[in-house]
Structure 1
């Protein structure tokens, strides 16, 4: 059984950990899109949240107007203090434009809108809605470090399903890229980023102060960008990671408009920007070459690990992915992050009111 500590405090589940946690002082943010409507996984998430009984649940929704009434009716059936924040309505978009915050739309923008509303509570927990193995105690695990003096908590878990290793973007891109950066540069941020056991997990917790201070990636790269912000706001001493066991999520193809190839560009940009934010001058050509070396070494290691556990493993296919992901090792381009809520003139109350009015219009 593992009990190793990392650069950040690592809280292990040695059996059935369900620590005491201040759920009554916390808001849970669950971003959703049209595809999660009434799915079995999402039903489970909200049913388990009923057991947690947090102070509030905020659901930032990205969906066409005609789908909003069905979402409102369905979510109203759960015994939760739940706010549906429709992110695509004209009033919300007008507020963002007036504040100079219009731009690319994606999960990160939706989460940013929800964080403003949720941060009126002492603590905020953020997680996805597509987890088949979600349990009420996952929220308690994420909240416990916050009540214990940490500013940020990050979930980690194993991605092993159907006799296969998943978590490909983390295993084959994030981890070897951080290792390549550590080879070529020296900074505490690299030790920090390399300490997370599943850096691409969507599950995390924040104090309200941290939530209001967070700059947020608009699209892909939200999770990694959040780690960079955690380092800026709290440092390694203010961050913990917690063991959420084994998670089963939806899986993505490598190619296509929402595939891992596209995601790698967003994740790479967020990671490299987080490093550049600290003043590190990244040697991209050298890092790209070192990335290939580390990723290839890891394929051999995962091949052995899979064989050890009698899992199916296609080493050649994973090596092909390395070639694809290497293209994402490049300067991150323009900074389109949304600013910290603590620095903008827009108020969460205005956003909530606009989203409420936009959603009401869809009923007419």
Structure 2
């Protein structure tokens, strides 16, 4: 049995009573409201994962509000998304993150001296979503829209440690086994083949640093599933690149006492998989590049560690050795569990990830500043009613979408009725 505890609290699933947990959380959510935030692209509405997520959320009586932050290219796409989520029983906010009303709000913010319009992608979606969710709830769970193993225990486990105030938890991160495919194999390549050996190599090079120990305590540091309190949501800077998850952990490290941080076991988990990329500017290789820059910047900021280019090269050599050791260990684990494991391909992936280190190190030395969206407290200092205005803009967008869909539905019904009332033509056979 795994009882291991680390710098942060690890919450194991020792066959917990899920029905009891759900009943308790539902009761607690009546006085400590909860929300689920999902950043999403329109394309994900057409995949089965998001339909599964929506249908599972319908059964979550312990979730008081659902916030979807959607990137849609047209009003028609946005309207379809509003209709897609309309079956949810909870109050639901579908934020059109790149729509005219939200863009106009951000333009007003820019005109007052705070420009957030240059930030795009998941970081901006999370930032906007937290603005609305923090108005609605005390505890906010966040997760991606592509989880193909989703069930209602995911938000339940993420939210419970925050809502049960006696536990004193302010941030809760998911960990799980990334298994999937046919035949079944390990996934999570960036965590297994980059982050873990990188942290081991850095610790070996630099000695003890609390931040490295903190990152090493997370069993799956790149999981996109976490929960946080609404006050923390307002006080963290959201990374604006592919280093979002690791950068978010850095913000939690800066803002939260270690005893108030937890990670929780979600079991076996799978979602869509990113390509490796043809260069260090694409796919998982770009993700590795952004992750390393984030770690180096935080080491300088919090631990006063400054690496030279020679040390970056040394890190690359040590990383390769550590990663090779990890692949051997994964091979043993996979063979025992009868999992598919291509050791050669794992080594090839390690070599591609290794090449990122020199470039990311040079990037960091040339420009140590990180790409982060200013926290909500700064935005509210510029526009105190920004969250309320964002919520109202979303309500108006959704009202227009529903009216448009109703008009379209009535038009379709009229066409059907017209066709039904049209007399059948007389066919004359010569």
Identify whether the pair has TM-score above 0.5, normalized to the shorter chain. yes
Range with greater deviation from structure 2 (261-270 or 203-212): 261-270
> 8 Å contact 1:109–1:219 — kept in the other structure?
no
Q: Secondary structure at the match of 1:78?
A: coil
Aligned to 1:323: 351
In the TM superposition, residue 222 of structure 1 has moved relative to its aligned partner by 1.3
Q: Secondary structure at the match of 1:153?
A: strand
Aligned to 1:63: 72
- Mark the structure with the bigger radius of gyration: 2
Q: Which runs of 5+ in 2 are unaligned?
A: 406-430
- For 1:238-283, what per-residue CA distance to the aligned partner results, in whole angstroms no more than 9, with x for missing partners? 2000000011211122125762122222222333333332122234
Aligned to 2:178: 159
In the TM superposition, residue 355 of structure 1 has moved relative to its aligned partner by 4.2
Aligned to 2:392: 353
Structure 1 pair 177/281, CA: closer, same or farther in 2 (3 Å)? Answer: same
Aligned to 2:423: none
Q: Does 1:131 align with 2:144?
A: no
Partners in 2 of 1:360 and 1:210 — Cα distance? 31
In the TM superposition, residue 27 of structure 1 has moved relative to its aligned partner by 1.2
Aligned to 1:231: 253
Q: Does 1:205 align with 2:205?
A: no
- For 1:8-29, what per-residue CA distance to the aligned partner results, in whole angstroms no more than 9, with x for missing partners? 1100011245333344411110
Partners in 2 of 1:348 and 1:326 — Cα distance? 42
Q: Secondary structure at the match of 1:79?
A: coil
Q: Which runs of 5+ in 1 are unaligned?
A: none
Q: Secondary structure at the match of 1:58?
A: strand
In the TM superposition, residue 62 of structure 1 has moved relative to its aligned partner by 1.2
Partners in 1 of 2:90 and 2:46 — Cα distance? 16
TM-score (normalizing by structure 2): 0.80
> 8 Å contact 1:151–1:238 — kept in the other structure?
yes
Between the two structures, name the one with larger relative contact order (CA 8 Å, sep ≥ 6): 1
> 8 Å contact 2:93–2:394 — kept in the other structure?
no
Aligned to 1:339: 374
Q: What are the within-5 Å matches in structure 2 for residues 189-338 of structure 1?
A: 189-255=211-277, 259-278=283-302, 279-282=304-307, 283-329=311-357, 330-331=360-361, 332=364, 333=367, 334-338=369-373
Aligned to 1:112: 127
Aligned to 2:84: 74
Moved over 4 A (4+): 355-364
Range with greater deviation from structure 2 (350-359 or 289-298): 350-359
What is the Cα-based RMSD across aligned positions, in Å? 2.0
Specify which of 51, 54, 66 is matched with residue 59 of structure 2. 51
Range with greater deviation from structure 2 (347-356 or 125-134): 347-356
Range with greater deviation from structure 2 (193-202 or 318-327): 318-327
